Amino acid sequence: MGVKAFDAVSLSLFLLHTYLILAFGDIPAMALIMRMKGQNGISPCRICDIKAISFNLKTHYVLLRRDKVPGAQPRRYNPSNLPIRTHNKLLKQASKVEMASTSAKCEEHAKKYSIKAHNTGCTMKMISLDWLPVF
C-alpha cells in the first residue's frame, strides 16, 4: 500500500510509504492509541505490569508499598525492577478480551488487563510494544 506521489527529479510517479517510528503522549493519549483503559485501569501502565489497588471500586491507586493494605499482592514493588509488559503478553491479553464468550467475560478481562482490544497497528510485524527501560 502507498500513496501515489510525483518525483520531480525523475519526472515519474512512485508509491510513497510512511512508517510510524515513535508515538508518545500522556496516559490518556497513549490509552487511546494503544486501546488501553488508561489511568483508572488495574494495570494502568503501558510499560510495566504493576497492579493498582481500588478502595472504592471506581478509582485505582498505584502503590509501590502495599504492606498496610489488607490482601494486597505483592506486598511491595521495587521501583528499580518493575515487572515489564512485553509485546507478546499485551497481544495475548488483548486476544483474551476479544475472544471472551460473553460480554460480561469480555469486560472482566478488559478490567483485569486494562486492555480494550487489539490495536490494529500492533498486530503488524513491524510494530512492537516492547519498551526500553526508563532510567
The ranges assigned to domains in the chain are 3-123
Average pLDDT over residues 62-72: 87
Q: What digits encode the pLDDT tens for the residues 25-34?
A: 776 777 777 7
Q: Could you tell me the CA-to-CA distances from 79 to 5, 35, 134 in Å, in that order?
A: 49, 25, 11
**Confidence at residue 9, expressed as pLDDT on a 0 to 100 scale:** 93
The segment with the largest mean pLDDT, out of 3-12, 42-51, 122-131, is 3-12
This prediction has a pTM of: 0.59
Instruction: Using pLDDT thresholds of 50, 70 and 90, give the confidence band for residue 78.
Output: very high
Provide DSSP, 68-100: TSTT-SSSB--TTSPPBPPHHHHHHHHHHHHT-
**Confidence at residue 36, expressed as pLDDT on a 0 to 100 scale:** 79
